[in-house]
Amino acid sequence: MAYLLESALPLSHSVSSSLTSSSSICALTCLFPTNVTTHNQLIHPRSISYPKKPLVCQSAFDGASFVEPPKAELIGSLKIKLLSAVSGLNRGFAASEDDLRKADEAAKEIEAVGGPVDLSVDLDKLQGRWKLIYSSAFSSRTLGGSRPGPPTGRLLPITLGQVFQRIDVLSKDFDNIVELELGAPWPLPPVEVTATLAHKFELIGSSGVKIVFQKTTVKTTGNLSQLPPLEVPQLPEALRPPTNRGSGEFEVTFLDWDTRITRGDRGELRVFVIS
């Protein structure tokens, strides 16, 4: 192990005297123990405490310094921490208040290290099909999240499947794709459908996104996949609500090639991974 070798194998006098500090600088990555006293003592692994973050040890014969690990490595470990915090929460439906707090804290750690998002530079990273793995809004137990929506559970025979976002940065298409299972009277089997809520998007500032609803298309899958897709008609203009519930705004607070974190206009935290 690196710390045992470093403490147990001191440089010989003949080697150290033949090298100068300017020509003998080496670098190695190590986890530096915080309670090791001398190299002559027997070190038991359980007696060593390590820092929460790995340190990069840059050593030289005339001294040593310790710096933070590279940003990419730190973000990688923080993404694992976030994925661990939201795993097992059924995308947020099973989240308790403590689960919501832990997920939010883990997301804030990544946002702080990643820094501000500039979509004018990183717009290409939005491209693709993204899978929703967590939404704090689903803790309200409705399919509409923090907005009004059909409840889950036994009141309505609706089971939510996977949720995706398909984004095309060239055409400005922004589709929310929702897999649903609709209950049917016995002995009929449930009906599996995929609803696509088509939007157009535009950027607001450096990290904001506004989506404008266009239409909803429903396509049966499973045993009824041969049926053609059905476009859901919209209400007449005079009967539509004053605000379009299919539209909204959100801020992208973290973005790389495989992970995206957003915060909605009502405070919803959402985590996506590339699909």
User: Is residue 71 packed enough to be buried (19+ CB in 10 Å), middle (13-18) or exposed (0-12)?
Assistant: exposed
* CB-CB neighbours of 226 under 10 Å: 6
What is the reported pTM? Answer: 0.69
Q: What is d(CA 175, CA 165) in angstroms, rounded to the nearest whole number?
A: 6
Tell me the average pLDDT of the chain.
78
CB 43 within 8 A of CB 15: no
Task: Please count the residues of the chain.
Answer: 275
- pLDDT tens digits, residue range 214-264? 999 999 998 888 889 999 887 666 656 555 556 899 999 999 999 999 999
HEC sequence for 220-231: ECHHHCCCCCEE
Q: What whole-number percentage of the chain has pLDDT above 90? A: 53
**Matching residue, tokens 């899958």:** 221
pLDDT 10s per residue in the chain (275 long)?
A: 444 334 443 444 443 444 344 444 444 444 444 444 444 444 444 344 444 444 555 554 455 555 667 899 999 999 999 999 999 999 999 999 999 999 999 999 999 999 999 999 999 999 999 999 999 999 876 554 444 445 555 445 788 899 999 999 999 999 999 999 988 888 888 899 999 999 999 999 999 999 999 999 999 998 888 889 999 887 666 656 555 556 899 999 999 999 999 999 888 999 999 99
Q: What is d(CA 55, CA 125) in angstroms, rounded to the nearest whole number?
A: 30
